[in-house]
Each structure stands twice: as structure tokens, then as C-alpha cells.
Structure 1
Amino acid sequence: MKNHSKVSAVIEAAVVFALVFVTSFYDVFYSFDSLLRDKLYQTPRGINNKIKIIAIDDEALREYGPFGTWSRGVYADIINTLGEYPAAVAMDIMVFGDMDSQGDKALSEACRNSGRVVAGSYISYTSAYKTDENGKPYIDRFHIEQIEQPIAAADCITGFVNASPDDDGIVRSAFLTVSAPELYGDESFGSLAAETYYLYCKNTGTAANTPTLDDNGRMWISYAGRPGDYEHISMSSLLDGSVDPRIFTDCIVLVGAYASGLQDQFSVPNSSDQMFGVEIHANIIQGLLDGKCPVPANRVLSALAAAAAAVLAYLISKYSKVKISTPITIVMTAAYIAAGVMLNGSGLTIPILYAPLFMVICYLVNLGRKYAEEAIEKRKITAAFKKYVAPQVVEEIAKSGSYHIKLGGENRHIAVLFVDIRGFTPMSESLEPEQVVDILNSYLNLTTNSIFANGGTLDKFIGDATMAVFNAPFDLDDYIFRAVKTAWDIVSGGNAIESTFMEKYGKSVSFGVGVNCGNAVVGNIGCDFRMDYTAIGDTVNTAARLESNAKRGQVLISQAVYDEVKDRITAEPIGEIPLKGKSKGVFVYSLTGITGEIKTDKQKGMSAQ
């Protein structure tokens, strides 16, 4: 049985491991994991004040009119006003094709004279069916169809401005460089953020960091600021002289849309509000400046870690008590999440959903299994107890959960009843076996129902005799009187059915009953594979001796029993009689009637007052 249990546990652990590994490796719940990583990993760390934004905002639109009608000379004025103060200027603006020759010429001259400008280009993507180096087909959603360059491309550096949202529309990563061999041979093209960063490093003599990229050539963006965090100055304020351009000294200046109507906003992981594209470029640049470019950990190692954590949680919750497994599961879940956050801070990103999710699932599954097993065991115990204890008492105990089985024995004060059928042996010799069984079952049914009706515990049948105890295995109010009343019910019931069997078989039998009370050892007695719940000791032996001395239809009770119930019974003193096995005789009474009722603990308390 133990080996079977071990094999079952190994199989279950293997299933858990395989399920978690596969789910994590293939990132089955990518969207949910991404949202969770957004909440845990994308926390603001403070913006870099060297990054500033010239905002084409609502104020600028009111002053200069509809955006699409502007002369490129406006952008030339921005570059000329900034002069040589910034270390780099990024123009997140679409300036493609000829518009007005004077404005276009002014923009080209401003870019050429500044030498600090990165102008925005735009990549037209399409989906294309391709095969990888192993010949496996796939759909490339970022197949470059065309790269459109700004009109000032010959006079400045260019960088593409495209944002690359995930399938759920959130921008979490960005291409820093792209290439299109079919169109441009070996030439590669940098993003606006990357080209601006490298220009800044060149002009300030700063050593450029080498960003780490994922397998798809993307940089994962570690957002430093939320929408609106970066310092932004209205374009109008710069051009009308309200702002001194010296505040941009040695800074990175980004010029871009900052009005909702310009439709350059994207969903980002660190805010429910959308972020302007120019702010996304600012966050990418700060990530490069800070060296905060986290990359996904190896998928196999991440999946192995998640699977191992889930299996450990499964084993702990399976073999530990709930009060132990619950805090351990909570600590393990919190520790895994904390480890993920720490790893992300050091540049390594792991899926954060799978291990905690399956640790909790394993805990809940084992918790449910334990409750189910306890419920089944409880039903078994309840069904078994109903054979020995009054069913209504068992139901009450099962409902309240107040009783706990105690292995071994305990010393309890109890009342013990023995009842035996008188004349059973000679009767059985003169009747058919079926008739004997019919009579025996009828009388044993009477004794059992009488015991249960008074809240007693049926200890055992001994041939044609029955043993019952009261106040064990659980506390029972007025248990001594209950035992005496049971004895009287048995004798009275026997008298009632005696005539029935006399008419049916021409034979009848009656009972002899003995009742005693005192301390006895009660509990599960036997060996590890066979035990009985019973009572042993002198109190039990005395009750058995009283029964053996009782005549037909007689109930003998001890002095100890009489002293407890004498105000609610009628009895005739028999006197002291010798009992087998005892050196001293026992004073006994013959029960002749019941005059009182069972008292509950509450009634006893009221009478005492």
C-alpha cells in the first residue's frame, strides 16, 4: 500500500512538472503573464532631467493652425532657436515629400547647420510568408515593404519612429535597428531613439552602453516615467521667447506630438492612460542611458524553474498539514514573485505568472482532496459509530465536529449494562435454527433500540448477551440514570413480546440485567490491524457479575448506582451478595420501577439553584 502511494505521488508530481513546464515554455497565458509583469516590473524609477520634450500641444495648434498645414519652416525655427545648446535633437515628426520649397529648404539648412538633429523616418510593414534557416515556414508580421525618409535626410541623421505594439496593443519593446536585404542590401537602419542616444553619447563624450536584445532583435523597454512625467515645454513658448533655450544645454531634446488630436498615442504597461509616441522614445533613450534593458531569460531554464517550484509546492501541500502548507505556499509564492522582480531589476526577465499560479492550484487541489478524504473518512466513521452509538447522537457529533477519536485508552467514569437472555440454550436445542435466529434477532433488536434510545453506546454482542456503556466515548448527561432506564426498558419490552413468541413457537425467554458504575479504562484496545472500542476494569466485571446473578425479568443495580438515582426509581434491597472474582460482597438492589425522567445538564443546573 505504501509503495502504491509512493508510485502515485511520483506520477502526480511528474504530471504537474510536465504540465507546468509545457505551459510555461510555450507561454500559453502570454497575455495574462504580460499584464502581471506590467504591474510588477514596470514601476517608475524617476526620469532623467537631461531628457526634455518640445511639445506640439493644443496651445501650439491654436496658435499655428491645423497641423497638416504648417510650413516646414516652423521646424527649422525650432532647431535654430535651440541652437547649439542641446547635445541632440530628435524630430518625431513626419516630414515626407515636398510641401513648400521655402520651408523645406529652411528645414534642410537648419539640420545641416545644427549637426545635432535626428529626423524621423517611417517603415511600412506588411505580413509575409517566409521560411527560417531550418526550412520551417512562418509569417513575418514585420516584413519591410519600404522605408520612407524625411526631406532633410541628406542633411542629418535619420531614425525610424515606428512603435511596435504587442498583440494586445501595448508597447513593451522596440526595434533599435532593422535591415531589409531584399531592398537595401547590407545597410541597416536605426530607430529614432537609438540614433539620438548614440548622437548624444558622441557629442558629450559619453561611453555608449551596448543594449541587450531578445531573440527577435528587440529591446524590452524599462519605462522610467509614466505619461506626462518628462518635462515638456510647449513649442509656442519656445518660439515666442517665453522659454530661455539655455535650459536645454547638454540635454536630449525630443520634438513631437503632444495633443490627442494628432493621434500619436499608445497603450503602455505602466499606466492606464495612453502615452505619446515622443514619450515612448524618451523612455527608450533613458533605458539606454541607464543601462536598463532587461531581456527574457532562457525559456527552458524559466520553464524548469516554474515546474520545479510547482512540484515542490505540490509535495508540501500533499504531505503537510493545512496549517503548515498554507503559510509555506504563501511564502513560496511571494518569494518567487520577489525573485522575479529582483531579476528584472538586474536585467533578466522571467515569466511571473506560471509558478505562482500552479503553486496555488496545487495547494487548492490538495486542500480539496484532503477535505474530500476527511469527508469520506468522516462518513465512514459516522456510519460505523451508528452501529454502536445512538444515531441521533452521532449526527449531532458529526455536525458540531466536537469529538475527536483518541487512540489507546483513557480513564473515564461510566455506567455499564450487561443483559443476557435467560433459558436461551435449552430453547435453541428444541427449535429449528431459523426459529432460534428469529427469536434472538428480535430480542437483540429490543436491547439495541433501548440502548440507543437512551444515548448509550453498544459495546458488543457476546453470544446471546449484550454489553453497553454510557458516558463513553463522549460525555453524556445523566448517564447513570440513562443506563438504569435502558435496563428497565429492556425488561419491560421483553415482557411485551414474550407472549408473541409463546404463541408463535410455544417458547419464550426473558432477560437478566446488571448495571454498575465507576471508573474504567475505555478506548481502542487491540493491535494495529484489529481493534475494538470497549471498556475494561473492575467496574465492567462487577456489572457482568450482577447480570449473571439476576433472575428472569430482574434488573440488579449496585449500591453506587442506587445512590445516584434513588430519587427517581423504586427498588428493593437484596442485600450483600458474593460475586465471582471479588473477595468482598457487593450490596445490590432489584429495580422495581422508574419514577423520574432523564435530566439534562441545563436541568441539573436549574435544580441546583
Structure 2
Amino acid sequence: MKKRLAFLLFGLLGALLAFVAYRQAPPALQQLDYRMKDARFRVRGPVQPDKDVVVVAIDHASIKEMGRWPWSREVTGRLIENLASYGAKVTALDIVFSEPQNPAADAALARSIARAGNVVMGYFFREEEQPVDPAVIAQMERSTVKLMKVAEGVQSIPLTEYPNLDANLPLLGNKALDFGFFNARPDGDGLYRRSILLLLHDGSIYPSLAMKALRHYLGSDIMLEVQPWGIDSVQIGSLRVPAREDGTMALNYYGPARSFRTVSAADVIKKRLKPDELQGAIAFVGATEIGIYDIRPTPFDATQPGVELHATVAANALERRFLRYDGTTQMLEIVCVLSLPLVLGLLLALVPGTATGLVALAATTSLFGLVNYQVFSRWLQDMTVIYPLLGVGLTYLGSEAWRNLVVERKGRQLKKAFSNYVSPDLVREIEKHPDKLVLGGEQRELSILFSDIRGFTTVSESLTPPELVTLLNEYLSPMTRIVLEEKGTLDKFIGDAVMALFNAPLDVPDHATRACTAAVRMLEELKRLNAGFAERGMNTIDIGIGINTGNAVVGNMGADIRFDYTAIGDAVNLASRLEGLNKYYGSHILVSEDTRRQIADGLFSFREVDRVKVKGKHLPVVMFELMVANREVLPRFEEALERYRSRQFETACRMFEELVTTYNDGPSKLYVGRCTEYLASPPPADWDGVYTATSK
């Protein structure tokens, strides 16, 4: 639980840091956010814009046919008149005629503008000071915003203000339908992602070329809605353009250059179009030839003509395909910024390691990416990308650093400490849940197994040191493997003896069964080893195994500089005594009554061997032999043992002798000797059949 809370704490910290960054919006992060938003356009791909928005391109073919730009104003006049004759409802010029050519040419263009009657002329604001004809200023005042709905508390409008402008000659503008500026402003990285809809000049608000074209196309005046924070929207009749507070609008691009229906200016001038080709259209006239340098790099295209930005505004408005950034967008952003790091923190708390942590990170970021893209492509919400991912990234880095420096380092230490003592399954469990491991001592129920080679001293005396090492390695290696495979813990080697714990350091619910299974497998493995020893002319060996189940103190025992995970207590001592008693009873596996009680009937064959007071114990211990051979002696042995405890020593002796003769049964040999002793010297009247062992 503490570990999970730590991961959630990192999630909370990541969310708070990301939220602070979201509110502060540092330029470096904003630029990165723009770039990541741009990728959504490329993933979405081009879409078809409104067919009534047309770009009349002063393109390479037109320049080649009509001559170098700028053209004679008579030629430009024919272009304007022909657009009207083709049925263009509004002609918007992304061109400014601020300098005279000659009186005849200027007059010809003025007449053409008057005849067309649908021309919105372009101009641009500038910072540099220059004289402006008063007639021009009078004309420009016609284009200012006249209708405004201003909320209570508005002190100022946060629009960009320019002191000067570069406008058309008064003669040309005299018969124009209206005027609109074509200023554009890139983001810090040089890309154009927004269009300026409104600017301030000399205390008045002026609309852009695209807004003026829409105003006359729709036949309604422009009305501003102003809130204390800035521009709320631009209204043209029933059309509500969701402007940002600074009077800009995010552009929902349709694709790279020439995504709009485009006609060559030369084809219009030469009247090579179908008669109704431009019927009811908004025609934006502008240069697309790269050599004229009216190029605007956009998320789709590094060389997109500037005239297409005006067309994009118009098409977005007519199709209501606005890329919105409103209260709903901000709410979604805040929810993602605050919730995604917490979600990742929770996932990291639940997964076991760094590899699965990467999967959780990938899943979280992929989910957000999918949601963000769907919100963008389906609902046209211009959500941020970087700030939720910033929180996710901070959460992951903090969590994984903590996991590797603290949690997994501890896990690696535990793995190193236990990998030679417990099974790989238990090692993985320790790594996964190190909190379940209590070091330093805890009391728990264990099944303890001791095994020992009988007569090892005699065996060792007959071998050279290298041969003895080989023998021990060949014997101890498979025995250790069996213990680990049965989820036991190898406590230690004591010379030729093996001590193993079951149910520590982690829970093994069937620990008594596992210990007995390990004992049976060890005897089976010994047969295989002895066969190999015999083939090589080596001495064969025999082992005895003792198993007891009971409470013991288990944990890190010893000095600070020596890690020794072991168990101590009476239960451990009794297992050792049981192992030692095998040589007296002629048995191989002796288990205590507590162990026998935990084994389900039918799994193994047991017979009660004796009730004995072992050294160090005051109460008698009931011992059982786990039988791996001669199971058919069990009924007869049980009957003979009953006669023995009933003081029928003569009858019991005959029965035990039969078992010795027929099966060479070790415990029966012991009881033959006892019966002979008691026949010669009967036990006292209060004898209860309990034998007292005087040695280990």
C-alpha cells in the first residue's frame, strides 16, 4: 500500500507541475505544443473545402502568358470585370494599389471596379510612419466595425493596434464595395496557424479581407461581442465566428497548396472558363507564384500562398468548420492535465516492473493521443497536446526513478540474497511483493526438513579430498534443485546435511505436503545417483530425512555484516532429532504428528513408528514413517505395535520377527530387540509405551 501511495503521489506531483506549466504557458512549451498540434492535420489528411470559395491565382502560367507582375492596371481591370461576368458574388483582392501607374491606367481600373460592383479591396497596416491621403482615411472609415455588443465592465479591447496603413489610391477605392486588411502574423516558429480577424487603428476596429468578403457574401453587417477578457465572437447575421480574445481565429486548414478550387488568372482574363464557372462564388485574387514571395508556411505546406489563408477563413465560416478553443476546450484540457498523470500513477502502482511500466506509459499516451485526435477531427476542439503529456512524462520519470533507485534496488538485493536459497517462482514473488517479506525475525508456521548422509565420516575417510568434493557436489546439487522446485527455501548446508524451510520467506499454503514430496523425490533421486556411483566404482550412500511442522522464528539472524536467513526454535530442533532417529529405526523418512496431520489422506502412506521423548522435549512425540517401499507391512506392523503397547511382548516379538524375516523391515528389527529386553526385564506397571531417546 505504501508503494502504491508513492506512485500516486508522483502522479499528483506530475499533475500539479503540468498544471502550473499549462497556466504559465512558457514559450518553449507552446512552440512544442504547436508542432504536436500540427501533426493532427497531417494525420487527418486533406479535406475538400466549400466549392463556393475560389482562389483566382496569379500563378506561374499567368505570369508567363500575361507578362511580369505587376500587370498593367487595364489587365487587372479585365480580370475584375470578367470575374463579375462569370458570376462571382464577391471579389476579394489580396493586392494593394498604393502607388499610381499612370492616369489612364488608374482610371481604367477604377472604371472596372465600379462596373463589377462586387470588389472588396485589400490593404495592410504597418508600423512605419508614412503620410496618408485624407481621402483614403475617409474611405477607410467606411470599413470600420459599426456594431458592437459590449459587456459590462469592459475597459479596453486587447486587439493589436497599428499606427499607420498602406491603402489603395483614392481614385481606385472610390467605387470599391468595401475594404479589408490582409495582415498576417506567424507564430514564434514562423508558421501561420491563426488568422487576424480584427485590428485597431486610430481608435477604430477594422475587419480583415476575409471577414469583409463574408460580410458582403452573406449580406449582413459585422457585429462584435466583447467581454471583459476580450473579443468573444464576431457575428455576421446568423454566422457566429468564434474569435479568440485577441481577435484572431485558429485556421482549420484543408490541405497543402491548391486544396481550394483554383482557377488561373490568365484563364479569367482570356475568358476561357465556362459561363457559370464562378456563379455565386467568393473569389479571392492573389499571387501563388513563388517568385512573388507571398508565401506563408503552414502545418500542411511550407510554401502555401498567402491568399489561401483568406480562403481558409471564408471556407471555415461557410461550413462552420471552426477550430474552436472555448470553455469546453479548456475544461477538457484541465481534466486531461490533472487526471492523466494520476491514471498513470495508479497503473504504475499496479504493474510489477519497468518493462510493464513502459507498457502502461505507452497505453496512457496512446489513449490520450486517440482521444485528443478524435476531439480534434470530430468535434473540432483545439485541445493542447503537450501539457497532459508533460504531466504523464514527469509522473513516469519520477515513478520509475523511484522504482529503480528504491523499490527495484531493494528487490535486486532481495533477489541476490534469496536466489541461491529459494525457487525462481518465490524469487519473482519476492521481487513483486517485497513488502510481504519480513526480515529481522517473525514467527510463522513452517515445515522444516533435515536430510543427512548416514555414515558420512566412514565414507569420507575412504575418499581423497577431490573425490569427496565431487561426491558432495553431485549429491547436493540435485537435492537442492528438488527443494527449490517444491517452493522450499534452502536454509543451509551443514557439511553433508541439508536444512530446508517450507512456507518462508513467503507463504506456501501446502508447505507440509511440499516438504514430504521433496523427501520422497530425494530418495528417488538417490537411487539414480547410487546407480551412477556404482558404475564408476564409487561408494554408494544412504540418507535419512526428518520433517516437522510447527511455529518457529524465521528471519535475518546473525551479525549486521553477515546475512543469514534461517529459522530457530523447538520445531527446528525436533526436525533435526527426527532425522537423527532414522538410523535407530532403520527408516529413511520420519515425520512428526503435526506434519502428518496436515497431509490429506491418500497422498502418502504413513505408519506410526513410535512415541518417543526426544532430547530436549518433555512431552512424547508421535513419529510416523513416510513409507516409500514395503507398504504391505503396514497392517501387520500396526497389529504388532498394538500387542507391544499392550505388554504382549512375546506375541509382538514373533510378529516383528516375521516382518524382519519377510521384508527386512528396519523398525521391526528395533522392536524385536525391545521386546526381548522387556521379556527379560519387564517395564514398570505405569509404563505407557513411550520410549526415551538418550541421544540425538
**Band the TM-score falls in, shorter-chain normalisation:** 0.5 to 0.7
Counterpart in 2 of 1:63? 65
Could you tell me which of 379, 382, 392 is aligned with 1:359?
Answer: 392
Instruction: Report the alpha carbon displacement of residue 21 of structure 1 after superposing the two structures with TM.
Output: 0.6
Q: 1:173 aligns with which of 183, 194, 207?
A: 194
Q: Give the match's secondary structure for 1:247.
A: coil
8 Å Cα contact 2:191-2:298 kept in structure 1: yes
Q: Which moved more, 1:463-472 or 1:232-241?
A: 463-472
The percent identity for this pair of structures is: 17
Give the deviation of 1:240 after TM superposition: 1.9
Any residues of structure 2 matched to 1:419-438 within 5 Å, and which? none
- Structure 2 counterpart of 1:226: 256
2:81 aligned partner: 80
Q: Distance in 2 between matches of 1:475 and 1:125?
A: 91
Structure 2: gaps of 5 or more residues: 130-157, 222-235, 438-443, 458-467, 481-488, 503-513, 531-540, 558-564, 591-608, 613-621, 624-637, 642-655, 657-664, 668-696
1:100 is aligned, of 99, 102, 125, to 102
Is it true that 1:337 corresponds to 2:369 in the alignment?
yes
Change beyond 3 A, Cα 1:12–1:560 = closer
Taking the aligned partners of 1:92 and 1:153, their CA distance within structure 2 comes to 14
> Is 1:380 matched with 2:414?
yes
Q: Is the 8 A contact 2:452 2:496 kept in 1?
A: no
Aligned pairs, number? 490
Task: Report if aligned partners of 2:58, 2:264 keep a CA contact under 8 Å in 1.
Answer: yes
Greater per-residue strand proportion: 1
Distance 1:486 1:330 in 2: 52
Matched letter for residue 454 of structure 1: L
CA positional deviation for 1:326: 6.9
1:194, 1:285 within 8 Å by CA — same for their partners in 2?
A: yes
Equivalent position SS for 2:277: helix
Who is 1:416 aligned against? 451
Aligned mates of 1:65, 1:34 — CA distance in 2: 40
**1:202–1:514 CA distance, 2 compared to 1 (3 A):** same
| Secondary structure of residue in 1 paired with 2:276 | helix
- Structure 1 unaligned residues grouped into runs of 5+: 128-139, 423-445, 488-512, 550-555, 562-576, 589-609
> Aligned partner of 1:145: which letter?
P
**Match of residue 37 from structure 1:** 37
Hey, what's the Cα distance between the residues in 2 that align with 1:233 and 1:162? 24
Deviation track 1:35-81 (CA, whole Å, cap 9, x = no partner) reads 1112225743321111122211112111222213x211111001112
Offset at residue 9 of structure 1 (A):
5.8
1:250 maps to a residue whose letter is: G
Corresponding residue SS for 1:174:
strand
Q: Secondary structure at the match of 2:272?
A: coil
In 1, Cα distance between equivalents of 2:318 and 2:219? 13
Q: Does 1:148 align with 2:166?
A: yes
Match status 1:158 vs 2:179: yes
Q: Distance in 1 between matches of 2:22 and 2:352?
A: 27
Find the counterpart in structure 1 of residue 304 from structure 2. Answer: 275
1:113-152, aligned counterparts within 5 Å? 113-125=115-127, 143-151=161-169, 152=172
Which residue of 2 is the match for residue 436 of structure 1?
A: none
Tell me which amino acid in the other structure corresponds to 2:120: V
CA distance in structure 1 between the partners assigned to 2:107 and 2:427 by the alignment: 92
The residue type equivalent to 1:317 in the other structure is L
Q: Quote the offset at 1:124 in angstroms.
A: 1.2
- CA shift in 2, pair 1:347/1:478, >3 Å: closer
SS in 1 for 2:180: strand
Q: Could you tell me which of 530, 543, 556 is aligned with 2:579?
A: 543
Q: Partner of 2:51: helix, strand, or coil?
A: coil
Is 2:10–2:395's contact at 8 Å kept on the other side of the alignment?
A: no
Structure 1 residues 288 and 463 mapped into 2: Cα distance closer, same or farther (>3 Å)? closer
1:81 and 1:245 in contact (8 A); partners too: no
RMSD across aligned positions (CA): 5.2
Give the aligned partner of residue 296 of structure 1: 325
Tell me by how many angstroms 1:86 deviates.
0.9
Match of 2:284 in 1: 254
What's the offset of the Cα at 1:515? 2.6
Q: What is the rounded CA distance, in whole Å, between the counterparts of 2:352 and 2:112 in structure 1?
A: 73
User: Distance in 1 between the 2:270 and 2:519 partners?
Assistant: 96
Give 2:216's match in structure 1, choosing from 176, 199, 205: 199
Q: CA deviation at 1:537?
A: 12
Aligned equivalents of 2:588 and 2:518: distance in 1? 23
Residues 1:402 and 1:23: Cα distance change in structure 2 (over 3 Å): closer
| CA distance, structure 1, for counterparts of residue 179 and residue 342 of structure 2 | 53
Cα distance between partner residues in 1 of 2:523 and 2:575: 13
Aligned to 1:454, what secondary structure does the other structure show? helix
Q: 1:454 aligns with which of 470, 473, 476?
A: 476
> Equivalent residues in 2 for 1:400-415 (5 A)?
none
Give the whole-Å Cα distance in 1 for the aligned partners of 2:159 and 2:199: 14
Deviations 1:154-184 (CA, angstroms, capped at 9, x unpaired): 221111112211111111111112112xxx3
Question: How big is the shift at 1:244?
Answer: 3.0
Q: Which residue in 1 is equivalent to 2:337?
A: 307
C-alpha spacing 1:369/1:338, structure 2 compared with 1 (3 Å)? same
| Distance across 1 between alignment mates of 2:550 and 2:415 | 15
Q: 1:516 aligns to what?
A: 544
Q: Structure 2: which amino acid aligns with 1:72?
A: R
* In 1, Cα distance between equivalents of 2:520 and 2:303: 73
Provide the rounded CA distance (Å) in 1 between the counterparts of 2:209 and 2:493: 97
Q: Summarize the Cα distance change of 1:464–1:233 in structure 2 as closer, same or farther, 3 Å threshold.
A: closer
Residues 51, 251 of structure 1: 8 Å contact kept: yes
SS at match of 1:468: strand
Gap change, CA 1:479 and 1:89, over 3 Å in 2: same
SS in structure 2 at match of 1:121: strand
Counterpart AA for 1:154: N
One-letter identity of the residue aligned with 1:587: G
AA at the equivalent of 2:125: I
Offset at residue 297 of structure 1 (A): 4.0
* Aligned partner of residue 666 in structure 2, secondary structure: strand
- Which letter maps to 2:258? G
CA distance in 1, matches of 2:173, 2:237: 26
Alpha-carbon distance, 1:30 to partner: 1.1
Match of 2:19 in 1: 21
